[in-house]
Chain A
Amino acid sequence: MTRKRFFAAAAGLLAGTVALSACGSSSAPSQATDQNADAKEVTLTITANAVSGGKNAAGADWITNYVIPKFVEAQKAKGVTAKVNFQPNGVDDQAYKTKVSLDLSTGQGADITSIDGIWLGEFADAGYISPLEDIVGKDKVQAWDGWKQIKPAVQQLTTYEGKQYGVPDGTDGRVIYFNKKLFSQAGLPADWQPKSWDDILDAARKLKKLPDVTPLQINAGKAMGEAATMQGFLPLLQGTGQPINKDGKWQGNSQGVQDVLGFYSTVYGSEKLGDPLLQQDAKGRDKSFQEFSQNKLGILIESDYLWRSVINPSKGVSPMADRDSSVGWAKIPAQAAGKGPNGADFVSMSGGSGEVINPKTKYPQQAWELLQFMSSADAIKARIGSTPQISARDDVNGEILKADPLLNYISTEVLPVTAYRPGLADYTQVSAALQDATGQVAAGKSPQDAGSAYQKALEGIVGGNDKTFK
């Protein structure tokens, strides 16, 4: 009997602890900047949320077919045998972040990791990444000629508390996309430019009359992850005039937040201008892309990512053969004309990513060389030459973007009015609370209830209501 009891107790214990047993903190001081600087054999690893044939395929192919062979060749000329590996990923950004955090927290992980700029504060506070100057030496960092090509606003993406943690690899901007074919069927203009939220709703009501068409997709809910915040809540909130974080305080359940949640309620409520089930689906964002590419979705807020990586006729995940003729775009309007920050009529949000060097790398100098190579004008041209993207470098942008009408539009019309997320360690938790609030409204909860639940969650995250404003 006792043996059996022991067995059962053991089984119970095992089952419950597996999930969290491997978690513990480790932080060791980073090693000398010149460690292995003269090594003749070097092994480096790059990781990114990109995989050949899947997510961000172009980026993955670029690393495998351009960066690695060219870098190995260049090292060979110096008499160094370099071996560079690429660890591909093709998952949700949230899952990728979890994986990278766990890798870095155990002192493992790739030598060069691509991260979203918004994770920088958290990773730096956790000690998972260090300022470049600590890893490779201040003089070496400053000696790079690429910095002067990168605008200060873009450099901010990889800057935390005044220190440069990596090299930004691009930025983006959000627009409101629409399907011109559906628009003409519904009697809407091909050069549509909404001037207020009501204009968006009016267009959606007209699209509603078409059979089997979802008029409008405004991302909401946990399943959408950061896409609900960045492509949904924040651009709308920006349109009410107040940013999410001002003077170090977070916006609580204010009138602006109520207006935004009210907009969600109109979209997903009784009028059913959007599809509430899509917001709850674990794969809802991908499905919304698919519907858009199949002419079943009328209006969608997204970044240039949709244009170049999703509905791209040659390289997209949901390719749209007639993308160039049937997809239109417009600036995201403020709630009403002049309601945006400082009286702006139009708003947008921007993010961006960058590459950081693992503080535990065995070859800091060589990793820095590789990172500089990846961020060189030639390498970036090779990366975005065939699928243009707003790069971090002005010299490359000047050459490449003219060819692409949408990217040209974003860099000239949208970037001047855009805003960036606050690079604070609490941001991702606040974002999760916003996702919850939007998801609740999309599922039928009243904006008032969702708003007060958000206020409560927010106070828990930032520590009291003196750190919030209304």
Chain B
Amino acid sequence: MPAPAAGTGPSRAVVDDGDVAGLGKARAMAFLAPALLLISLFLVFPALWTLYLGLTNYRLSGSAAKNPQFVGVDNYINALSDDRFFNSLGLTLLFVFGSAVIGQSALGFAIAWTMTRVRKSVRAVVEFFVLLAWIIPSSVTTFLWYAMLDRSNGTLNAMLSTGNTAWLLDYPLQSIIVFNTWVGTAFSMLLFSSALASVPPSQLESARMVGAGAWAQFRDVVFPHIRGHVLTNTLLITLWTFNTFTPYLLTAGGPDDRSNILPIFIYRLALNDGALGQGSAISLIMIIINLVIATVYLRLLKERKS
């Protein structure tokens, strides 16, 4: 809030109490209450409930379903001494890095960048197809991908003449990375398209006039304008990818846990094996990792602003 110019009158007190709208505390709270209630109901309560379940041996069936016992931090100790947990964590990081940070961001940007210099009709067609991958229900797309990557009658093997290569079994993590890149690129593309539209053409023009090459133009003109978008985009797709469950429909975490990313690990542990308490504990660890990721990105955003 800019300081008022001197002499505008002594009657206006200049107290920055943050009450810009002039609502007063009570009315402000009344406005916030519905949102807070929803957040408590759907976010805070489930998180606390997860925390509670994670401290018990609660199971989907059997006597521990009826009378769960309090087991303290046993579930956490089990998780942190379990090779399968670290295997899943490692796979998840690779998966996020490969399919979100590299795959979706880079491909999304590349498409958006290319589309700035083609005819409108071409652009409409390309965007339509990229969006299609995003909006078709995942049960349908996974079925199509399963058919494409299948060992015995797969389209990919027919196209590449690769015989009976079992893509989903020999390259499970690579397969779901490519798949997830394909699904999610649309979001990055849309976001970067609008970001690139905000780069003033005059600045690009000037850069070209002084002889800047494509890379220099990108680095010195385009990037400073879209840096905020890059961070926002990376934050969102990182969190989404970290928590996506769709690859389950392709590989079910297998073979031999080689595509067992954390959400699938938790699902199999909690619902297939019925270990809900143990699953809750790992869910909470996942929540914390999510919060850490979010905080790091927000720090970066803040640095940019100041």
Task: Classify the secondary structure of B's interface with A.
Answer: helix
A11 to B39, CA, bound (A): 11
**Which chain A positions have C-beta within 8 A of B236?**
11
Give the secondary structure class of A's interface. helix
* Given A8-B235, A125-B61: A20 in contact with B255 (beta carbons within 8 A): no
- Shortest Cβ gap from B273 to chain A (Å): 6
Given contacts A280-B169, A281-B169, contact A12 B290 (CB under 8 A): yes
**Which A residues, 34 to 90, have Cβ-Cβ distances below 8 Å to chain B?**
none
- Stretch from A94-102, A256-264, A325-333 forming part of the interface with B: A94-102
Q: Is B222 an interface residue (CB 8 A)?
A: no
Bound CA–CA A427/B252 (angstroms): 23
Q: What 1/0 mask marks residues of chain A from 219 to 239 whose CB sits below 8 Å from any chain B CB? A: 001110000000000000000
Q: In the complex, A4 Cα to B294 Cα: how many Å?
A: 10
Partner of A20, one of B61, B254, B266: B266
Pick from B252, B280, B295: contact of A282, CB below 8 A: B252
Q: Is B239 an interface residue (CB 8 A)?
A: yes
Report the count of interface residues on A (CB-CB < 8 A): 50
Cβ distance B289 to chain A, nearest Cβ, rounded Å:
8
**What would be 26 A-B contacts, judged by CB atoms less than 8 Å apart?**
A1-B305, A8-B239, A11-B294, A12-B293, A16-B286, A17-B49, A17-B283, A20-B53, A21-B46, A23-B58, A23-B270, A23-B276, A23-B280, A25-B58, A25-B65, A27-B66, A101-B274, A105-B65, A126-B59, A126-B60, A126-B62, A223-B252, A280-B256, A281-B255, A426-B62, A428-B274
**Given A11-B290, A23-B58, 17 additional A-B pairs, CB 8 A:** A12-B239, A15-B240, A15-B242, A16-B283, A17-B47, A17-B50, A19-B267, A20-B283, A21-B50, A23-B53, A102-B271, A125-B61, A125-B62, A281-B151, A282-B250, A425-B63, A440-B256
User: What is the distance, in angstroms, from A161's C-beta to the closest C-beta of chain B?
Assistant: 12
Q: Which residue of B lies closest to A5 (CB)?
A: B298
For residue B174, CB closer than 8 A to chain A, the reply is no
Contact residue among B62, B242, B271, B305 (Cβ-Cβ distance under 8 Å from A425): B62
Out of A8, A119, A428, which one reaches B297, CB within 8 Å? Answer: A8
| Cα A223 to Cα B268 with chains together (Å) | 11
Beta-carbon contact of B60 and A16 below 8 Å:
no
With a CB–CB cut-off of 8 A, which chain B residues contact A12?
239, 287, 290-291, 293-294
C-alpha spacing A425/B53, complex, angstroms: 21
Question: How many A-B residue pairs lie within 8 Å, measured between CB atoms?
Answer: 167
User: Does B98 interact with chain A (Cβ within 8 Å)?
Assistant: no
Knowing A13-B290, A98-B271, the reply to whether A123 touches B279 (Cβ < 8 A) is: no
Asked if A286 is at the interface (CB within 8 A of a chain B CB), the reply is no
| A123→B64 CA distance, assembly (Å) | 11
- Asked if B61 contacts A122 (CB within 8 A), the reply is yes
A439 at interface (Cβ–Cβ under 8 A)? yes
Across the interface, A102 reaches (CB within 8 A) one of B60, B240, B256, B297, namely B60
Q: Check if A10 is an interface residue, CB within 8 A of chain B.
A: yes
A287: chain B residues within 8 A (beta carbon): 152
Are the CB atoms of B256 and A443 closer together than 8 Å? yes
| Chain B residues within an 8 Å CB radius of A119 | 61
- The 8 Å CB contact of B298, one of A8, A16, A27, A223, is A8
A38 vs chain B, min Cβ distance (A): 33
Judging by beta carbons under 8 Å apart, are B293 and A282 in contact?
Answer: no
A23, A94, A125, most chain B CB atoms within 10 A: A23
Closest A residue, CB atoms, query B256: A443
| Cβ-defined contact, A20 with B305, below 8 A | no
Q: Are B254 and A222 in contact (CB under 8 A)?
A: yes
| Contact of B63 with A21 in the complex, beta carbons under 8 Å | no
The verdict on A15 contacting B66 (CB below 8 Å), with A20-B276, A123-B61 known, is no
CB-based nearest A residue for B283: A20
- Does A432 contact B273, Cβ atoms closer than 8 Å? yes
Judge whether A32 is part of the interface by a CB distance below 8 angstroms.
no
Residues of B within 8 A of A143 (CB): none
| A interface footprint on B205-230 (CB within 8 Å = 1, 0 otherwise) | 00000000000000000000000000
Complex contact A127–B243 (CB within 8 A): no
Q: Choose among B240, B267, B284 the residue that contacts A16 (Cβ–Cβ < 8 A).
A: B284
CB distance from A462 to the nearest CB of B (A): 12
Q: Are A4 and B298 in contact (CB under 8 A)?
A: yes
Most chain A beta-carbon neighbours within 10 Å: one of B68, B166, B291, B294: B294
Q: Which one, A17, A24, A425, A426, contacts B287 given CB within 8 A?
A: A17
CB of B198 within 8 Å of the partner chain: no
Given contacts A15-B242, A21-B50, contact A277 B294 (CB under 8 A): no
Q: Which residue of B lies closest to A121 (CB)?
A: B62
Residues of B within 8 A of A282 (CB): 168, 250-252, 254
A210 to chain B, nearest CB (A): 17
Which of B66, B266, B279 has the most chain A CB within a 10 Å cutoff? B66
Q: CB distance B301 to A4 under 8 Å? A: yes
Does A188 interact with chain B (Cβ within 8 Å)? no
